[in-house]
Amino acid sequence: MAKQVGPRPSRDFRNRATTQEEEDAYDFIKHRTNVKFTSVVGSVAHIVKGALGGGLLSGHVAYMKAGVGVAVPLNVIFGCYMAYCLHLLVLSSQILYRRTRMPSMSYSDVGEAAMMTSRFPKLHKVARFFRYTIDGTICLDLFGSCCCYHIIIAKQLKQLVEDTHASSFEGAFPGYPGLRTYMGCMIPLIVAICLIRHLKYLAPFSLAANIVVVFCIALAVYYAFEYNPHFESMHLATSMYNTFEFIGMTVFSMSCAGVVIAIENNMREPHKFPKALFIGMSLIVLCTFLVSFFGYAAFLEKCESPLTINFPMSLSDKFLKAAIALMIYATHALNFFVPFNLCFYYLKQRHPLEKRPQWELVYRAIFVVGIGIIAIVFPEINAIMGFLGTFCLSNMAFIWPNVINLLVIWDRPGLGQYNWRLWRSVVLIIIGIFIFICGSLVNAMELVTVFIEMNLS
């Protein structure tokens, strides 16, 4: 018989250390077993890899929307803002390891533990809900990323098949299929690769994808100096509406919020995580700036997502376009792995143990088809990225880390002189909420506009 469906069992999150001395006495590193530890350099590589993906290939459009006078400083500011908030998140997790005597946790574990161990009893009742909210947001963000990858692959294939530099939603020539036809035909192929249940078969493609992205960055710089060597006709600023679109797309392309705790859990020297985060976020900001600024400079108002669509149709560029399509295809499966496993944890409880492997394949296919349908209904990368950046990642990277940190440090080490830690958290949370509300509204309106234009016009 199938097991009864119930809430995901929580770990026993309790304050087992009642004093600072008891906390300091617990060495969580020694209790991490069966872990393949990584160095600082390896951790930096994972942080960069966790952020730079398909979103990076749309950074030039984000810069075009806001204007370089606004985009460049905001790019740096949001990189620093994100790095500091994620630093507080990991710092809070390390305090919770000592406090609960648990050597490692996931993001949702940290969120639930922060509420369960806080001094406010009313928060204990909503700790499980907070955990599910984190899990749900992670799923929405990563499944949404899969939608973007689906569109990127289709656009790249369409351009290669038509063998024309011009890009359009409909077929470039009479009798040629439109973008949605490519997206529909791709669904069985994406289902096939997403049926792979072991990451070890897909991991080599992740490294190859990063190498291809580096080539894209280099070509963006090259074409900027070839097509627009004096960097003319670039807008300095546009409108507040467009700025919120930019914020969503930029946060989406830079965020590594979903992987930082996992990376810290696997570090040989976790106390050096701030160093790894600083280096990693610096590289992320630099890569985002390079591809965005020079991509916009090269193609100006004609720039489209992904970046490679704008490249000429020379033989070498065609190979790069094909490589991007192939690498994003493999990355789609990697990105699909984490949110699907979160969902399948609950779904598998509805089925007998011996039949779960077969049902896993069925659910994988269903989820991929659902992602493909959403991509077909909303075939606009920029709108999806903007919404995910402001709705999901403003919570994961800005708001929740500060809420968690405030709960963790409330009693030990305390709020500090003049409650400076409280005011720090309040300011950072207010900024995050402002981005969340305004950015989500703007980008949701963009999604509605895309839906109307693509489906009802």
Q: Give residue limits of the domains in the chain.
A: 35-456
- Side chain identity at residue 6, one-letter code: G
Give bridge partners of residue 267 from the DSSP assignment. Answer: 38
Comparing CA positions, the residue from 399, 156, 376 lying closest to residue 255 is 399
CATH number of 35-456: 1.20.1740.10
Single pTM value for the model: 0.89
CB-CB contact of 387 with 456 (8 Å): no
The answer, yes or no, to whether residue 14 has pLDDT greater than 90, is no
Both tokens assigned to 86? 């994620």
* pLDDT tens profile 191-238: 999 998 776 677 677 777 778 888 888 999 999 999 999 999 999 999
Task: Return d(Cα 422, Cα 424) in angstroms, integer.
Answer: 5
CB-CB contact of 148 with 54 (8 Å): yes
What's the chain's Rg over C-alpha atoms? 23
If one compares 415 and 200, the residue with the highest pLDDT of the two is 415
Q: pLDDT grade, residue 457 (50/70/90)?
A: low
CB-CB contact of 391 with 432 (8 Å): no
CB-CB contact of 96 with 113 (8 Å): yes
* pLDDT tens profile 205-215: 777 777 888 88
Nearby residues of 25 by Cβ (< 8 Å), 6 or more positions away = 17
Q: Tokens 């708001």 correspond to what residue?
A: 399
- What pLDDT is stored for residue 7 in this prediction? 41
Torsion of Cα atoms, 287 then 291 then 294 then 298, to 10°: 170
What value does the mean pLDDT take over residues 131-135? 93
Q: How far is CA 409 from CA 94, 116, 386, 412, 434, in A?
A: 12, 14, 33, 5, 24
- What pLDDT is stored for residue 72 in this prediction? 96
Comparing CA positions, the residue from 267, 313, 245, 268 lying closest to residue 66 is 245
The answer, yes or no, to whether residue 255 has pLDDT greater than 60, is yes
Task: Return d(Cα 324, Cα 167) in angstroms, integer.
Answer: 17
The answer, yes or no, to whether residue 9 has pLDDT greater than 80, is no
How buried is 196 (Cβ within 10 angstroms: 0-12 exposed, 13-18 middle, 19+ buried)? Answer: middle
Comparing CA positions, the residue from 435, 432, 438 lying closest to residue 85 is 432
Q: pLDDT grade, residue 408 (50/70/90)?
A: very high
- Could you give the angle at the alpha carbon of 256 between the alpha carbons of 253 and 257, nearest 5°? 120
101: left (phi over 0), alpha (psi -120 to 50) or beta: left
Q: How far is CA 243 from CA 10, 22, 246, 350, in A?
A: 41, 48, 5, 45
Q: pLDDT grade, residue 4 (50/70/90)?
A: very low
